[in-house]
Amino acid sequence: MNPVAATKMSGLLLRQLSQRVLSTSACRGLVAETSANLRHVGSVGGVRYKSTQATDAAQEEKGESSKAISSYWGIAPPKITKEDGSAWKWNCFRPWEAYTADVSIDVEKHHKPNNMMDKFAYWTVQTLKIPVGLFFQRRHMCHAMLLETVAAVPGMVGGMLLHCKSLRRFEHSGGWIKALLEEAENERMHLMTFCEIAQPAWYERAIVFAVQGAFFNAYFVAYVVSPKLAHRIVGYLEEEAVISYTEFLKDLDNGSFENRPAPAIAIDYWRLPPDSTLRDVIVVIRADEAHHRDLNHYASDIQCQGHELKEAPAPIGYH
């Protein structure tokens, strides 16, 4: 390839990358306020986030444009309303997917590593925790948002691999495909909630891009080689998630992190009261993480006891 063509191609690639990967258009309308790593948007004192308002505007805009889409295939956008008759504004989830979180969790629950595999899983997570802790320190929002981008991967990878296994072997999955995909979706909703509050800086987006590439492939290989190890690692990751959200709650309670109104998406997803705050949202997210912890340790235990996952009915809707 001649140098001119090579220069043109690399320029094109860079432009595409900056538009697609590091684009800030995912949560449109957000306003950068500070030069801190994570730029918070919105305000306190009862006013909803600008991001939520922006989402409303984006939804309306989308609604306008969707009217113009040809319905040759007979598919029309569904008209969904809330219980109070107002329009349902989220396309990423529907009212019947919303739920009330079971917050009666044991935050201290821990699986004691009792064999080589458990110890390997435990120390893998403890080792990964060190650079993560050094990087984020007490920047809870940034920590939570970036780690949710990782947390939403294992359920999707595990669900996809079990799906393929079910097809290959002509057999049922015991509901585990659904349970794991639900976990992935639940984690992604955690991320969508944090997106309503804050926006990552460009270099944090770059970190997510790199980490996702490495983590997806590493977890894929781990799940193919040893699903029980993969589930045990996620169990320990979720234990750490519970701990880090507990720290977040402590800082909200002692005033070192400012509490604020809950984003509208969180109120609808977890069926929270309209006057809920960020603290209420963190409480329900921590409960979800505790349930992911239990589900993944349980999945590992089933296999450690010599059974296949399909032999035990999956806890569908357990989040």
**Residues interacting with Fe ion, by CB under 5 A?**
148, 151, 187, 190, 238, 289, 292
- State the nearest-atom distance from the C-beta of 154 to Fe ion, in Å: 9
Contact 212, 153 (CB under 8 A): yes
Exposure class string for 232-247: b at 16+ Cβ within 10 A, else e: bbbbbbbbbbbbbbee
187: its two tokens: 């984690």
Pick between residue 165 and residue 292 the one whose CB is nearest to Fe ion. Answer: 292
Pick between residue 42 and residue 235 the one whose CB is nearest to Fe ion. Answer: 235
Contacts of residue 307, defined as CB under 8 A and 6 or more positions apart, other chains included, come to: none
- State the nearest-atom distance from the C-beta of 259 to Fe ion, in Å: 20
- State the nearest-atom distance from the C-beta of 190 to Fe ion, in Å: 4
Pick between residue 60 and residue 247 the one whose CB is nearest to Fe ion. Answer: 247
Pick between residue 61 and residue 247 the one whose CB is nearest to Fe ion. Answer: 247
Determine the residue with CB nearest Fe ion. Answer: 292
Please report, for residues 4, 89, 91, 166, 278, the alpha-carbon distance to residue 81 in angstroms, rounded to integers and kept in the order given.
56, 8, 12, 37, 25
- State the nearest-atom distance from the C-beta of 288 to Fe ion, in Å: 6
Pick between residue 292 and residue 310 the one whose CB is nearest to Fe ion. Answer: 292
- State the nearest-atom distance from the C-beta of 173 to Fe ion, in Å: 21
- State the nearest-atom distance from the C-beta of 308 to Fe ion, in Å: 24
- State the nearest-atom distance from the C-beta of 3 to Fe ion, in Å: 47
Pick between residue 118 and residue 239 the one whose CB is nearest to Fe ion. Answer: 239
Name the residue among 72, 69, 94, 67 with its Cα closest to residue 83: 94
Q: CA torsion angle for 95, 97, 101, 105 (degrees, to 10)?
A: 180
Pick between residue 151 and residue 233 the one whose CB is nearest to Fe ion. Answer: 151
How many whole angstroms separate alpha carbon 312 and alpha carbon 308?
A: 8
